[in-house]
Amino acid sequence: MPSPAPQTVRRLSRHGVVIALLALILFGYLRYDNFLGTFNVLSVLRYNAMFALVSLGMAYVIMTGGIDLSVGSTAALGSVVAALLSPYGLVPGLLGGLAAGLAVGAVNALVITRLNILPFVATLATMLAASGCALLLAGNQSVSVSYETGFIELGQGDLLGFPVPAWIALAAFLAGAIALNLTAWGRTVLAVGGNEEATRLMGLPADRAKASVYLVSGALAGLAGVILAAQFGAGQPIEGVGWELFAIAAVVVGGTLLTGGVGSVGSTLAGVLLLGLIFNILNFENGLGQISLSAYWQSVVRGAFLLLVVVIQARLAGRTEEPA
């Protein structure tokens, strides 16, 4: 039996992302005025809500050992459909975006579980197809939303002093955490990622679990699209490029293994906030006027920081693992 690793190290590895997040917040608080001011905090939450939704869906997919590359263009499609339906009201816009996302998710689910196509390939194809659909529906330009029906409240509104998109994301994560940890569905999702063969042999519905995560991911991406349209006042057929990479990064930084079978909803949220805050801090840094980082340099810095967190996390996790 291996000697048990020190408790503190084990805890660090599990909560590495939370610690990095707290360190970043402390850094920002000490260095910039108004970093923790209401305006900045609420803007960060409002803007990152859509990324949070997409990342939640991605987390489930990755936990089954799959990947969903189509979330970015699904969000774009969702935003276009929502914008087109927004003149009919808030609810039609919301449901339209959700339905568009579910449709893409359903195609992913069927192709992956029925035709046994690798998730990477299947969702690469739907990524292209969904993007094409978005451009077709929008006529190759952004579609402005109706400002009369209250639809924009979904992106720009506040409820009890808190941004509506952040409420939506918060509710999704709460339900998502309970679903993962306390329902048979959530445990089956992890079981499929851990050992698909054994899951099948035990008689558990492996295919249904796999199909469901792509449906959830699609629906959440569609919802993110609705918020995108409401927040920026237009359905954006060319938005969403690279969202899938942001989501994958947030999930991985949150400690979910790309090989599946291990994962946490809470840490995924921390991962989203971490990535969002790096962006926010770079903006503040530019605002100080001492240095001026172009958007390109911001990407480089983000990437480097991301790598750093992942490497530290892998080191910590490695130390608690028994040598194979």
Q: In this complex, which beta carbon is closest to other proteins, that of residue 231 or of residue 256?
A: 256
d(CA 223, CA 100): 9
Q: How far is CA 276 from CA 88, 107, 122, 220, 249, in A?
A: 33, 30, 29, 18, 11
Cβ neighbourhood burial of 207 (10 Å; 0-12, 13-18, 19+): middle
Pairwise CA distance, residues 50 & 29, whole Å: 25
Find the shortest distance in angstroms from Cβ 58 to other proteins.
17
Binding of other proteins at residue 320 (CB under 8 A)? yes
- Cα separations in angstroms, 96 against 28, 133, 147, 268: 39, 14, 17, 27
Residue from 40, 124, 200, 293 binding other proteins (CB under 8 A): 200
Least distance CB 169 / other proteins (angstroms): 18
Q: Contact between 257 and other proteins (CB under 8 A)?
A: yes
Contact 55, 271 (CB under 8 A): yes
Can you point out the beta strands (E) in 156-204? 158-159, 162-163
Query: Residue 317 and residue 120: Cα distance in Å, rounded?
Result: 27
Residue nearer to other proteins on the CB measure, 198 or 288: 198
Among 111, 190, 213, 251, binds other proteins (CB under 8 A): 190
Residue with tokens 């970043």: 24
Which residues within the stretch 202-221 sit at the binding site for other proteins (CB under 8 A)?
Answer: 202-204
Tell me how many residues contact other proteins (CB under 8 A).
31
| Smallest separation, CB 95 to other proteins (Å) | 19
Bridge partners of residue 163, in order along the sequence: 158
Could you give the angle at the alpha carbon of 152 between the alpha carbons of 148 and 154, nearest 5°?
140
Q: Is the separation of the CB atoms in 115 and 213 below 8 Å? A: no
Residue of 16, 78, 101, 261 that binds other proteins (CB under 8 A) = 261
Q: Which is nearer to other proteins, 188 or 267 (CB)?
A: 188
182 or 288: CB nearest other proteins: 182
Give the integer Cα–Cα distance in Å for 316 and 77. 40
**What does the alpha-carbon distance between residue 300 and residue 147 come to, in Å, rounded to a whole number?**
38
Chosen residue from 42, 124, 179, 301 binding other proteins by CB under 8 A: 179
| Cβ 183 to other proteins shortest distance, Å | 4
> Residue 187 or residue 302: which is nearer to other proteins going by CB?
187
Closest by CA position to 60, among listed 226, 219, 222, 239: 219
**C-beta of 287: minimal distance to other proteins in Å?**
42
Q: Segment contacting other proteins (CB under 8 A): 96-104, 111-119, 177-185, 222-230?
A: 177-185
Q: How far is the CB of 134 from other proteins (least distance, A)?
A: 31
Tokens of 101: 């996302």
Which of 167, 185, 279, 284 forms a contact with other proteins (CB under 8 A)?
185
Residue 323 binds other proteins, judged by CB under 8 A? no
Stretch that binds other proteins, among 36-44, 45-53, 179-187, 243-251 (CB under 8 A): 179-187
Q: Please give the structure tokens belonging to residue 273.
A: 């906030």
Place of tokens 């609705």: 226
Binding residue (CB under 8 A) for other proteins from 87, 157, 194, 312:
194
Residues of this chain that bind other proteins (CB under 8 A): 1-2, 175, 178-179, 182-185, 187-188, 190-191, 193-195, 197-204, 257, 261-263, 320-322
